[in-house]
Amino acid sequence: MRQEFQGHGASRGSALGRARVRLPHALEVAEERITHEQVEGELGRLHAAIDTVRHEMHALRERLHGALAHEVGEFLDLHTLLLDDPELLQGLDELIRTGHYAADYALRLQRDRIASVFEAMDDAYFRSRVDDIDQVIGRIHAALHRRDHDTSGVAGEILVTDNVAPAELAQLQAQGVMAIVTAAGSALSHSAILARSLHLPLIVGASQALLKINDGDALVVDGATGTVILEPNAEDLRGHRARTRELARERKQLHRLRREPTRTLDGVDIKLYANAESREDVAEAHALGAAGVGLYRTEFLFLQRNELPDEDEQFRVYRDVVLGMTGRTVTIRSLDLGADKADKTGLVLRDEPNPALGVRGVRLSLAREGLLETQLRAILRASGYGPVRVLVPMVSSTEEVRTVRALLRKVAADLRKQGHEIAEHVPLGAMIEVPAAAIALPGFIGLIDFLSIGTNDLVQYLLAVDRNNEALSDLYTPLHPAVLRVIRDVIRLAKSRGKPVAVCGEMAGDANFAPLLLALGLEEFSLHPATLLELRRAIRGLNLEGLRKRAPALLRAKDRVGIEAWLRA
């Protein structure tokens, strides 16, 4: 019997397939004891399962590349660290050795013990880490029984579940999952962002789906509207086919825009830069006609390794990126690591009470002697092969900018004395993602050459809302009057001082926000290559002069509803 459920569209696309229902994770294992003679064998079973999971995650990590490796890799790295956590492993061994529990029940007890500690914490970030514990424990439990995390044979199916972790998405798509429907989740979560990059239809917040849908039911999902249809009728099937044809036409039309200029209806050229972190990203950015690389992430060089990359290793990577863009500007962001990202080198602090407000970004680079100098030397050496800019993350004070500027001058002088060929001038930029930086900008704008507004963190810090906290998903939005005013003020000041300014957060990659950002004065965007053509198409259909005339009405909006009404109009 046909039924229709409504959720929130998080990643566009239309899919038709069989339902695969995965109930909320709960390790419901009955208590089971073993004899003293069985202990070593049970420990062997458990350790073999843990090794299997390690190998699976390593193999998945190796298959990933580019921005996908960045988004998924952070979670895989965290899960790998959890697998090596002495508290987890020693606790499991102790339960089997002294409690004589079977491996399955030991997993359940240890999961509940660790989860209770996290759930009791005041910090929302650490409470959210229970999901990672469940993912890791679930993988081990699956390996004990030689199951592939309950996703074997899912080709052609639509996964219906309570939530989905970012680390799962690439694996699910590779296994043939057509779309995902979740009862919880947020359209602004890491999983949703990644699903859009993968072009995998995703609907979140369909709370009735798990209650009403069973394995094998036929489903049609529309990732744009958030609609899920159980046992679709003839009209529903016609609608799905029509959407599929329209998406195919759209992809063909977008492909034709690869070599077209990003120019508004009234003839104003807008620059579209690409966010990247690998050769593959750079090649895609070049092929799509990006103006350059607006944000090259360097973190991947420091993750999943036991020692820091030296100057020569970094130089070779940065040089290859510069050569790959064949004369187009490459903006290399200095290291942006913190305690929220997995790291084996001992570079970042562990167990910070609040990683989002901790030693990260430029704070970490300046705190570790020689770290930033080595990176700047590598970047400046790469500047001899093409135009390069240096972008500093997490800036919050004039002193930080002044220190980096002085170090950049020193490094340039040292390299020239040593006979290296470097650019005569390498522009220095600051990321505006901390409210203090936006407010203090008049005091240090003379020290920098360009700006990049990181809206992901700016929105989070400005609104005091964790974007990964589902309970606050309605509050985390760039469509807030305070956010728009800060962006407008930064753009206005930068333009008055002749400094280029771009937006490089998720907001830049959403074509729906293009009218708003153009109205606020933005003329440079930096975004994931996957959505570059969609943004180009949107901009080519807009009249910049008309949008600028409507900017005062936008800034008079008192709330999100008013801003959304402005966008619709």
Catalytic residues: 190, 504
Encoded amino acid at 543, one letter: N
Of 466, 529, 488, 475, the residue nearest 284 (C-alpha): 529
Say if residues 334 and 372 touch (Cβ distance below 8 Å): yes
Looking at residue 269, the DSSP 8-state letter turns out to be: B
Q: Is 419 left (phi over 0), alpha (psi -120 to 50) or beta?
A: left
On whether the CB atoms of residues 109 and 46 are closer than 8 A, the answer is: no
Q: For 165, left (φ over 0), alpha (ψ -120 to 50), or beta?
A: beta
Both tokens of residue 536? 């180009």
The CA-CA-CA angle for residues 244, 65, 57, to 5°, reads: 100
Task: Calculate the CA 23 to chain-centre distance.
Answer: 26
Cα 347 from Cα 331, distance rounded (Å): 24
**DSSP character for 334?**
P
Question: CA–CA separation, 386 vs 49, rounded Å?
Answer: 49
Contact 422, 468 (CB under 8 A): no
Q: What region, left, alpha or beta, does residue 516 occupy, with left being phi > 0 and alpha being psi -120 to 50 degrees? A: alpha
